[in-house]
Amino acid sequence: MDLSELNPTPTAGKSPPDRPHPTEGLHGDAAWKLTTQIAGEVAGALTPALDSVRQMQASGRIDRAGLQSLVTQIEQARCASMLGQQIARLAHGGIQQQPEALNLSHTLQAVLAQHQGDPSAPAMAVKQTLTPAVAMVDATLLSALLGTLLDWSLRHACTPVDIRLDTKAWPAHARLVCRYGHTPPDRVPANPSADRGAGRTAALDCLSWQLLAQLARTMALHVERTDTASDTTLTLEFPQTVNDSLEGAASIGHDGHCAPVDDSRPLAGAQVLVIAVRREVLNQIRQTLLPMGVGFDSVGSVGAAREFCQQGLPQAIIYESLLYDSAFDSLRNDIKLQCPELAWIEIVEQGDAFEISSFGGMSMARVGRDAIASSLPSAMMFELARGL
């Protein structure tokens, strides 16, 4: 998850009066407790790492198991530090959001597909029951929220995580419910003590939860969490839900964009690699692809793309035209030998061009940078369907 692409709000601007201030709940004692928690989680990972280093130093030997344990402890400390930085950035306020109509179920499916493709992610099963729902939200914050929800729940779950998306009748809010068991039934005491309950809640209130809560607060979502001796249920409500009673809702397609798109397209779960040097181009592509249910990965160079593809090929590669050189040509030729049907889409620098791969004998599709939002979905549908 990367929140660096969020832009600060201009100092002259003010938050909407009906939106809670993003730093609400992080003043005084709350801010002090959070600072203490960040320091505690970082120290909790670094202390055993330091002990391991000292043991290795004393013995003069490093075995594979000890080295792997050390790497894991350092990664945990790094993760805690990064979570703290992200929480601090959101709590500082001044985030300039760009709400757009996004299909929540498609975005959630894309996040789940990314998780399934991550070898370092927990292997716990996720059950999903998703009803189509469209809400006005910032694409970057929504992806961060759903990714953090998945990380938090899978970290504590001892049962499959059950995720449901539906819409309340009144008020007409999209509602995301995440439920999982955190303690096996045979380990739940018959009479849970207050101390044990407090310890369980403290474990669930880790930094991943703090980031999740801060993201929801920044997006002005309603949050409700219930913890029992064995289970946890989290409900997120989206006040800015688009429904048939709202003006303009009829013109919004099922994928959250104004252009209607046939839901029978074979894009759900498709894996796409984006090679982009410039952050603004990557953001344009990301905001277009994620609501379509596409699994999204990105790299910033041809060399990084080659390393990525060595671990497994995507179904499509989108790249900036300025990256085309002999190294790129070599990469493309190598991939064509392994997977001739892989789709290639070039983002040309200017204009609103849209050319499919068969046009004029071309071997790849082209989309102008000015036409990414309007034409990239069509290019993706054609190129992926052509390879089936």
Q: How confident is the model at residue 132 (pLDDT cuts 50, 70, 90)?
A: confident
- Output the pLDDT for position 98: 81
pLDDT at residue 314 is higher than 60: yes
Helix residue spans in 93-160 (DSSP H): 104-116, 139-156
- Output the pLDDT for position 261: 36
Q: Please compute the mean of the pLDDT values over residues 88-92 and round it to a whole number.
A: 73
| 3-class DSSP assignment, residue 164 | strand
The CA distance from 378 to 269, in Å, is 16
Strand 126-130 with 161-167, pairing: parallel
| More confident position, 36 or 64 | 64
Query: 264 vs 127, 261, 267, 381, CA distance in Å?
Result: 22, 9, 9, 10
The CA distance from 333 to 326, in Å, is 10
- Packing angle, helices 29-59 and 64-92, rounded to 10: 160
- Output the pLDDT for position 279: 86
pLDDT at residue 259 is higher than 50: no
- Output the pLDDT for position 117: 63
Q: How confident is the model at residue 319 (pLDDT cuts 50, 70, 90)?
A: very high
CATH fold of 261-386: Rossmann fold (3.40.50)
pLDDT at residue 347 is higher than 80: yes
How much helix, strand and coil, in percent to the nearest 5, is found in the chain? 45, 20, 35
Q: Please compute the mean of the pLDDT values over residues 264-276 and round it to a whole number.
A: 71
Q: How confident is the model at residue 235 (pLDDT cuts 50, 70, 90)?
A: very high
Q: Are 175 and 142 in contact (CB under 8 A)?
A: no
In the chain, where the domains are located: 23-92, 99-242, 261-386
CATH fold of 99-242: Heat Shock Protein 90 (3.30.565)
| More confident position, 205 or 170 | 205
Does this model's pTM top 0.75? My answer is no
Mean pLDDT of the chain: 76
Quote the Cα angle for 83-271-326, to 5°.
100
Q: Please compute the mean of the pLDDT values over residues 218-223 and round it to a whole number.
A: 92
- Output the pLDDT for position 101: 82
| More confident position, 117 or 330 | 330
Q: How confident is the model at residue 30 (pLDDT cuts 50, 70, 90)?
A: low
pLDDT at residue 9 is higher than 80: no
Spatial CA neighbour of 180 closest among 162, 204, 199? 162
